Chain A
């Protein structure tokens, strides 16, 4: 009883984590199912059919590839635009700061259905044809904010004295950016890109409003949900989940190792930085 009381919080925490993963487990288990009838909703019989024949159902793989393509293009553009905005927010003074903050925040606080509907209203009024271009425009729009937030946090968490030290060692601004600032911000940019890609790849509502006849992976799943989702979709979703999780875990591991090794380098040591700081002020 005493043990339970002492560890109650930990037990609840683990139960919540388990709860978060229940649907994932269902998706994975049902990827090995041979459903009875059209709907892959309850366990029937073990089968690896979906895994050995991933593209066996027409439309699954083409929509999957289309989503990857859209995700990559949207992420590249949004990451570039968002990173620039983040640098401007942290490093530069400019007029209209609170309007800028608001304009970046609002896409994250607007329900997707409203964003999808308002973009569609724009495209309809302009008679702009719906398709891949309109979906890309929409994805870039809602990814930018998440990139800004992620990169901004990284920039703000950076010790400015490291850049000062580089300047004290006669590095010109370009060299400071190339050898110091950029490598330090890079993990943040990569994290933002990964987040952006996963948002784009998984987006359904905004895409559905602006896709016209284009079929992305989520739009395919939505259509299939009415007549039964093919088992292949579960297998592909499992692959995406495992790949994304591996990338994040590897990223965490690398940054952990980097932190460890940086701590052993005397110049980055906090005390050393303080003395560099003091010297530069004197």
Chain B
């Protein structure tokens, strides 16, 4: 997926008069109706499906019920995948932050007239198929590849290889969701008035102190937004685990996909999805309580 392209959202010089009329509701209605019917309502059906019980008469069919036990069973069967998803996504997000910050900082403060070109280059890799880019890491991290051989000579690989291990899965997740970290970071850094950093320098702050006390705190909204936008898709992803990892590296997305599409165990798959969504909703609402909803978009 491509991330939101940050358009320089400078505050408009004069406030636009907001009109209140039927036209507003008419403009909203079709789009919002689509989102209600095909985004919000499906969550209700997902929840109801997660409580269904096997049909007593027909094998492989499910009937409406209130089987809360589905959740316990799903968790008992798939807790390792759950934990793995959050650990992998957590490490990938931390790595992405580490990699993205210098680039976002450079684009915001030092790129000058190369700024828009560099932003295009950040988004451009997304124009090549997600699946193929992930598949390409199979080549890059293969056992006989340059990277694997180099790291092996240095005895840095616990399993002697990268492909089909957790390292490859995390590497894939970090790579694939990096633009989702870079763009919000850039959007936050770009808003910082460089004179604030200069002022810190004038007050005898070393560049390190100026960064720690001025730039970093002011860039925190971008750090939080980038963390959410990287962590969420990474935690739910199953393509990287499937293509780059082994069966011991499967994530919660793999479990949902297999149960839904292959086993047709809809209640278990739905229960897993609801639990994943619950964790993510908690994260989003913690964020909203601090930042409000206006800044979401």
Binding site for B on A (CB under 8 A): 9-10, 12-13, 16-17, 19-24, 26-27, 30, 41-42, 81-82, 84-85, 87-94, 97-98, 100-115, 117-122, 124-125, 137-138, 140-141, 144-146, 148-150, 152-154, 156-161, 188, 191, 195, 198-199, 202-205, 208-209, 217-218, 221-222, 225, 229, 233-234, 237-238, 240-241, 244-245, 248-249, 252, 256, 277
Contact = CB atoms under 8 A, between A and B. Distances in A.
Given A111-B235, A113-B238, A113-B256, A102 B293 contact: yes
Contacts of B46: 114, 117-118, 121-122
A interface SS class: helix
Nearest to A17: B121
B122 A17 contact: yes
A195 B30 CA distance: 21
Nearest to A192: B5
A201 to B, nearest CB: 9
B20 A94 contact: yes
Given A17-B121, A41-B142, A119-B42, A23 B127 contact: no
A251 B297 CA distance: 23
A134 to B, nearest CB: 10
Contacts, number: 319
Given A108-B4, A199-B2, A252-B116, A41 B138 contact: yes
A13 B185 CA distance: 14
A10 B178 CA distance: 18
Nearest to A111: B236
A-B pairs, top 7 by smallest CB distance, nearest first, are: A111-B236, A92-B24, A13-B106, A23-B136, A118-B42, A244-B127, A81-B31
A120 B260 contact: yes
Contacts of B20: 92-94
Contacts of A104: 35, 296-297
18 contacts: A9-B102, A16-B102, A19-B175, A82-B31, A84-B28, A84-B30, A88-B24, A111-B236, A114-B280, A124-B266, A140-B38, A150-B7, A160-B12, A160-B16, A202-B129, A205-B257, A217-B129, A221-B131
B174 to A, nearest CB: 10
A29 to B, nearest CB: 9
A26 B24 contact: no
Nearest to B16: A160
Nearest to A238: B128
Contact of B14 (A9, A107, A157, A277): A277
Given A109-B284, A125-B49, A195-B2, A100 B12 contact: no
B140 interface: yes
Contacts of B276: 111, 113-114
A204 B239 contact: yes
Nearest to B236: A111
B28 A85 contact: yes
Contact of A109 (B23, B232, B273): B232
A237 B128 contact: yes
A94 B236 contact: no
Nearest to B133: A23
A27 B280 contact: no
A191 B5 CA distance: 9
A268 B131 CA distance: 46
Interface of B: 1-2, 4-10, 12-16, 18-21, 23-25, 27-28, 30-32, 34-36, 38-43, 45-46, 48-49, 99-100, 102-103, 105-107, 110-111, 116-118, 120-140, 142, 144, 175, 178-179, 228-229, 232-233, 235-239, 243, 253, 256-257, 260-261, 266, 269-270, 273, 276-277, 280, 284, 288, 292-294, 296-297
Contact of B34 (A10, A93, A118, A140): A140
B273 A23 contact: no
B25 A159 contact: no
Nearest to B176: A23
B297 A110 contact: no
A13 B102 contact: yes
Given A92-B19, A103-B39, A20 B178 contact: yes
Contacts of B25: 88, 92, 94
B252 to A, nearest CB: 8
Contact of A100 (B4, B32, B116, B288): B32
B106 A9 contact: yes
Contacts of B135: 221, 225, 229
Given A115-B39, A244-B124, 4 more contacts: A23-B132, A93-B19, A156-B9, A249-B120
